Amino acid sequence: MWREVHNLFSGLSDFGWNQATKRFEVEDELWENFIQVKSFVAKWRANVIRNYNLMEKLWSNEKATGSGQRTTWLASK
């Protein structure tokens, strides 16, 4: 689960992690566009991702940088 979520959202500068809701957030229009291109991501709009920060610390050494960021639009191509 973590790898799927990490691979989808890492580097997407439009999306932000909300620790309070435990979900990735972005404007509704961008979510809808992303879901149209990749329908399987709809579950991550509604589902809580428990312990994401902990999983990030344990399993990821990667951090987004200015040169590696991708927008939702670019990731869908």
Domain boundaries, the chain: 2-59
What pLDDT, on the 0 to 100 scale, is given for residue 76? Answer: 54
What is residue 23's DSSP assignment? E
Distance separating alpha carbons of residues 22 and 41, to the nearest angstrom:
15
pLDDT of 2 over the 60 cut? yes
Residue type, 42: A
CB atoms within 10 A of CB 63: 9
The pTM assigned to this predicted structure is 0.61
pLDDT of 20 over the 80 cut? yes
Q: What is the pLDDT of residues 39-65, one digit of tens each?
A: 999 998 988 888 766 666 666 665 555
